[in-house]
Copies of this chain bind each other. A is one copy, B any other.
Amino acid sequence: MDKPYVLGLDLGGTNSVFGIVDARGEIKATTAIKTGGYADVNDYVEAAAQALEPIIETVGGIDTIRGMGIGAPNGNYYTGNIESAANLEWKGSVPLAKLFSDRLKIPVSITNDANAAAVGEMTYGVARGMKNFIMITLGTGVGSGIVVNGQLVYGSDGFAGELGHVVIDNSPEARVCGCGRKGCLETYCSATGIVRTAREKLLHDPRPSLLRDINPDEITGLEVTKAAQKGDELATEILAFTGETLGKACSNFALFSSPEAFIFFGGPTKAGDFIMEPLRKAYNDNILYIYKGQAKLLLSGLNGSDAAVLGASALGWEAEKL
């Protein structure tokens, strides 16, 4: 292969992390800039290009780089644009793929972070060789990337695969979601959802718990996991509820694409079996009989801190000139 590398950009609200990656998913060089502070997106691209110059030189120059992939909030694969991302300062439609492609003279693809994670798993992770799987990313929200016939599902507009907003509770008591609707999966199974469960449980369940030593405003998913690891009953039940809820939801998702695997990624998965065991049980108890035993329920195969850059970079292998 005369162009042995791809460039990945994990564009977050605060930081923009770049990595140069080879075909085996090894990160050869990285750099980063702040995402904020560039009112004009052209200045951001210029700052990025300047930060990239030295690391591109270390791998032999731009001619060794096949393409670039960007994982960004509201990144649209079809248009190459970021579309009105709430937590970025650029408003409206930002043609980020084209700007980077023009500046670096390489093909550039963009999508959202959960989709990038799915492509990353397929290229370097536990989904290598899989043609049908569903990636679930657990963070502030719940994201998803769906792969069918070896292709990411982008849908008619580039925004398919928002399983975090599937309504799983139709009751009047369903939790209010940031999207303005009620009962969305992510209000239960994101890191934020776990904290909501914890606060509710601490309020309504009189049992003692290590979590009562923490200011309710400062409880995090990680604190719940730590308490569970120390044998705390309430914390264990909070994580079990999270896993059960996610497992039930996934048993419905299987009806769409009959995937060979679900792959879970993100902070809450650090709870390991505290979440995954109840998840597996709920999935198996609720799955339609024809799919029984079909799908593996796996944790991401990518190193957490590198996963976002790896996922983004994976898009670069298939990027085409805009």
Residue count of chain A within 8 Å CB distance of chain B: 44
CB-contacts of A288-302 with B (<8 A): 288-291, 294-295
Please name 22 pairs of A and B residues whose Cβ atoms are closer than 8 Å in the assembled complex, sorted by A: A131-B156, A132-B155, A132-B156, A148-B153, A153-B256, A155-B257, A155-B259, A156-B258, A156-B295, A159-B291, A161-B255, A161-B258, A162-B288, A166-B255, A167-B248, A167-B251, A168-B170, A169-B170, A170-B170, A170-B248, A253-B256, A256-B257
Q: Is A47 an interface residue (CB 8 A)?
A: no
Chain A facing B: main interface SS: loop
- Taking A148-B148, A161-B256, A179-B289 as given, write out 16 further A-B residue pairs in contact, using a Cβ cutoff of 8 Å, ordered by the A residue number: A132-B156, A146-B257, A148-B153, A155-B258, A156-B259, A156-B294, A161-B255, A162-B255, A162-B288, A165-B255, A167-B251, A168-B170, A170-B170, A171-B171, A180-B289, A253-B256
Residues in chain B near residue A162, CB distance under 8 A: 255, 288, 290
A253: which B residues are within 8 A, CB to CB?
A: 256
Instruction: Decide if A205 is an interface residue (CB 8 Å cutoff).
Output: no
Tell yes or no: A163 within 8 A of B by CB.
yes
Residue A286 interfacial (CB < 8 Å) = yes
Binding site for B on A (CB under 8 A): 131-132, 146, 148-149, 151, 153-163, 165-171, 179-181, 248, 251-253, 255-260, 286, 288-291, 294-295
Contact A288 B171 (CB under 8 A): no
- Chain B CB within 10 A, most for which of A146, A148, A158, A259: A148
Considering the complex, give the chain B residue whose CB is closest to the CB of A184: B288
**Partner among B146, B156, B258 whose Cβ is within 8 Å of the Cβ of A159:** B258
Q: Quote the shortest CB–CB distance from A252 to chain B (angstroms).
A: 5
Give A167 to B161 CA distance when docked, in angstroms: 19
- What is the distance, in angstroms, from A182's C-beta to the closest C-beta of chain B? 10
**A130 to chain B: closest residue by CB:** B156
Q: Which residues of B contact A257 (CB under 8 A)?
A: 146, 153, 155, 160-161, 256
